[in-house]
Chains A and B, each alone.
Chain A
Amino acid sequence: MKHTNSQADRQIADGKHHPLEPYLRMDRIPHIWCSTCGLGTCLNSFLTAVRNSAIPRENIAVVSGIGCTGRTAGYVNLDSFHTTHGRAIPFATGLKLANPELTVVVISGDGDLVAIGGNHFIHAARRNMDINIICVNNFNYAMTGGQFGPTTPETARTTTAPYGSFEHPFNLPFLADSCGATYVARWTALHVRHLTASIGEALERRGFSFIEVISPCPTVYARRNRLGTGLDLLQFYHDNSVIKNGIDTRECDIRFQEQLIIGKFVDEEKTTFHDTMTGYLKDAVGEKYVPYVGPMEMPGNGD
């Protein structure tokens, strides 16, 4: 369904509608997310960044894996793809290769992106695929009921670690950075303005960008650990987050309910997969080389 801006403005003006309605698939609302979950905020930030961006909406595609976060793809009124658990990045890679003009955004959970999908994550970063990753880190596999995973802080309780997790978690910004990501940031669901601005930046730039969003999961993670509601966790983020832009990502470890280092850590230029590939083929194939420009016929290209 296409919305014009005036339609959107009218809807907003009557006070009965959410300002981002034109960007939501309203037939899929109400969403499944629990009250005070951080996922609504993340979606809101993303869609606000999309609205503020100069990129035409039809050029933005959203890819999600499976999980509570994975449901995002179903709610955005953009081209979107709800894939299988762990495979959002390879789906996004294919999408980007097939249509290099697209701005491709992967929005998925910590488990999806760095447990079952971890292999794809490191390789897309290594290649500098021109895709944007928004990873909602709620420190557990929320959708399946709160088991511990690769981001669960040591000592945090989960349904599979009733007396506290003892595995060492990933430091995601460091992981992304060391694999070659050219943009790395971490925010919380409280830092909506920073997060929105950061997503906006990532959308505009080329290369593999990674934004981690620390987000409350009141229903499973917080309840097990007696951390209160989403609101209590926002208060915790407020009291314990320190913005340290440009800090060495090695220093961003997360410990259970301790200080959270957030900010924009990496922002650098590097040739993307597409550029290196075309450059290489141009050299190797010589004059015969015809660079791929995109799908032969895009729907809507006819008029």
Chain B
Amino acid sequence: MILAKTGNEAMAYAMKQINPDVVAAYPITPSTEIVQIFSNYVHDGLVDTEFVAVESEHSAMAACIGSAASGCRTMTATASQGLALMHEMLFIAGGLRLPIVVPIASRSLSSPLNIHADHSDSLASRDSGWMQFFCETVEEGYDSLIMAVKMAEKCSLPAIVSIDGFILSHCMERIEALDEQKVRDWLGPYKPNWNLLDLDRPILVGPATLQDYYYEFKRSQIEGMRTALPKVQEVMADFEKTFGRGYGVLEEYRCEDAEAVALLMGSASGDMRQAVDRLREQGGKVGMVKLRVFRPLPHELLRKTLTRFKTVAVLDRADSVNSFVGPLYNEVAASLYGAENQPELLSYVFGLGGKEFSPDDAARILEGALAGRKDETVTYVGVR
């Protein structure tokens, strides 16, 4: 069915089709509508979900953890300050390996106060043990959210699915919605490995592990994320087989014979696509690599892909405040370290707090990458 939906509407619609057992949430711009629309599905009896409008995001994630620990398919939605307020709880969900799934409409973090898009919220949660997916379009957000549920449950890892605030959350696009029953059948019921409400197998969740076991728990959690990538790819392949829409962990656009490519995540990939087309028309050997999965980071794939090019411009919609370069750049550089045929890496930070990023800006980056030019360690695109 072809529908016109904003990013938030599409995420809410995906949640309706997922039909989670429990949703606990607190409103925040620009993701409020996801749960708001969903709450209307609840009140109209279109889902079987128990919905609670708790008093803060910290409580929302705590309630989600309680629900997930008792074996329920659990979701919420948030952004920015909301995700930041969940920070403590994100680590709990990660450590307990609870497959909670959270769409976020990515927005910058205070201070100063700003409600517009960048990736500082999700990237600040990088080390909490959550899978992270970034989307270019509304339909990709919708598909990714449905896939994320299956991935999370398969890997026993929580997952964040990011659509850029306002740029995607509030813009209407055409989506081909999937058949609801087919989605529910594809996901199937959630069968947790263990749960609090299994009276025959009582368990204790969250006990203290000091020097005796903490390290081992962490090591196995890390292993869980490290080995998640093939499972993520399996789910993508299965989704494609069932619904006919295929996604990769990363997507190459016109990279065949490219010398210089731009690597980035999120909605700005659309601008970059246009810039690639424009430069290609003029004979420029440029392309784009869009990274969809930030956690589990596809180290091998990044290495294999990026060593084919002479120059890679890495675009970050966030900054690590003097970690030398942007956060994504760091990850890419680490993946490439020691590889043969290392490309030259250029670091660009752009679009903080929703700062306009246009195909012209994208084209200038590609031109710079073609020229191999590197004026500064990091180029802050468009800052006054």
Query: How would residues 43 to 65 of chain B score, 1 for a CB under 8 Å from any chain A CB and 0 otherwise?
Result: 11000000001011000000000
User: Which of chain B's residues 1-59 have a Cβ closer than 8 Å to chain A?
Assistant: 26-29, 32-33, 35-36, 39-40, 43-44, 53, 55-56
Query: How would residues 241 to 279 of chain B score, 1 for a CB under 8 Å from any chain A CB and 0 otherwise?
Result: 000000000000000000000000000000000000000
- CB A165 to nearest CB in B, in angstroms, measures 9
Given A115-B56, A118-B55, A144-B27: A160 touches B35 (CB 8 Å cut-off) = yes
B39: nearest chain-A partner, CB-CB: A160
A116 close to B26 (CB less than 8 A) = yes
B53 close to A147 (CB less than 8 A) = yes
A161 close to B27 (CB less than 8 A) = no
A205–B55 Cα gap in the complex (Å)?
31
Total count of chain A residues near the partner, CB < 8 A: 22
B81 close to A161 (CB less than 8 A) = no
Pick from B35, B40, B55: contact of A115, CB under 8 Å: B55
Given A85-B81, A116-B55: A144 touches B40 (CB 8 Å cut-off) = no
User: Which of chain A's residues 68-88 have a Cβ closer than 8 Å to chain B?
Assistant: 82, 84-86
A194–B56 Cα gap in the complex (Å)?
33
Given A86-B56, A116-B55: A141 touches B81 (CB 8 Å cut-off) = no
A141–B56 Cα gap in the complex (Å)?
12
A144–B36 Cα gap in the complex (Å)?
10
B40: nearest chain-A partner, CB-CB: A162
Query: How would residues 131 to 175 of chain A score, 1 for a CB under 8 Å from any chain B CB and 0 otherwise?
Result: 000000000010111011110000000011111000100000000
Residues of A within 8 A of B (CB): 66, 82, 84-86, 115-116, 118, 141, 143-145, 147-150, 159-163, 167
The 10 closest A-B pairs by CB, nearest first: A116-B56, A144-B27, A160-B39, A115-B55, A144-B32, A147-B27, A159-B36, A162-B43, A162-B40, A160-B53
A and B contact pairs by CB, cutoff 8 A, 29 listed = A66-B113, A82-B113, A86-B56, A115-B26, A116-B26, A116-B56, A118-B55, A141-B27, A143-B29, A145-B27, A145-B32, A147-B27, A147-B36, A147-B53, A148-B53, A150-B55, A159-B36, A159-B39, A160-B27, A160-B36, A160-B39, A160-B40, A160-B53, A161-B39, A161-B43, A162-B39, A162-B44, A163-B43, A167-B53
